[in-house]
């Protein structure tokens, strides 16, 4: 049996356990190696220990919000070109534009459309 070690690594920052479980399962089905963080602080600690290929973060997190999490991680060595995806219930066009202007590379609204999510994540696989 061949062990795959070149899988795309994703960090999911989500404080809702059900959303976290769903996203981790979808990413696993897409062939990602995905890890979760329930808070922004936890995500920052994980990003200091491991380099992820893509980061999906909720915006409305307790403590440090997702916008600040993305900025902090993006400024860490090895993350300069890492795609940051806003994964949020803030789902208006104005919200999307605000997150993209804040430095996010992409935007996925919640509740998640499984088919659209899977298609969108294809472009982040290596």
**57 in a structural domain:** yes
**126 in a structural domain:** no
**111 in a structural domain:** yes
**1 in a structural domain:** no
Output the pLDDT for position 5: 52
- pLDDT tens for each residue of the chain, 126 residues long: 434 457 899 999 999 999 999 999 999 999 999 999 999 999 999 999 999 999 999 999 999 999 999 999 999 999 999 999 999 998 889 999 999 999 999 999 999 999 999 999 999 998
**3 in a structural domain:** no
CA-to-CA dists, residue 24 to 1, 13, 18, 20, 27, angstroms? 24, 10, 10, 6, 5
Residue 35 belongs to domain with CATH number:
3.40.50.2300
Number of domains in the chain: 1
Radius of gyration of the chain from Cα atoms? 14
| Domain span at 57 | 10-121
**2 in a structural domain:** no
């Amino acid at each position: 049996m061949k062990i795959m070690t070149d899988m795309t690594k994703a960090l999911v920052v989500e404080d809702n356990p059900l959303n976290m479980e769903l996203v981790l399962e979808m990413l696993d089905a897409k062939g990602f190696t995905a890890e979760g963080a329930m808070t922004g602080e936890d995500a920052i600690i994980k990003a200091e220990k491991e380099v992820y290929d893509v980061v999906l973060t909720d915006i409305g997190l307790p403590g440090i919000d997702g916008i600040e999490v993305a900025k902090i991680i993006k400024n860490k060595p090895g993350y300069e070109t890492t795609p940051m995806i806003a994964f949020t219930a803030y789902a208006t066009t104005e919200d999307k534009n605000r997150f993209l202007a804040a430095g996010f590379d992409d935007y996925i609204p919640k509740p998640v459309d499984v088919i659209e999510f899977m298609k969108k994540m294809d472009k982040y696989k290596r």
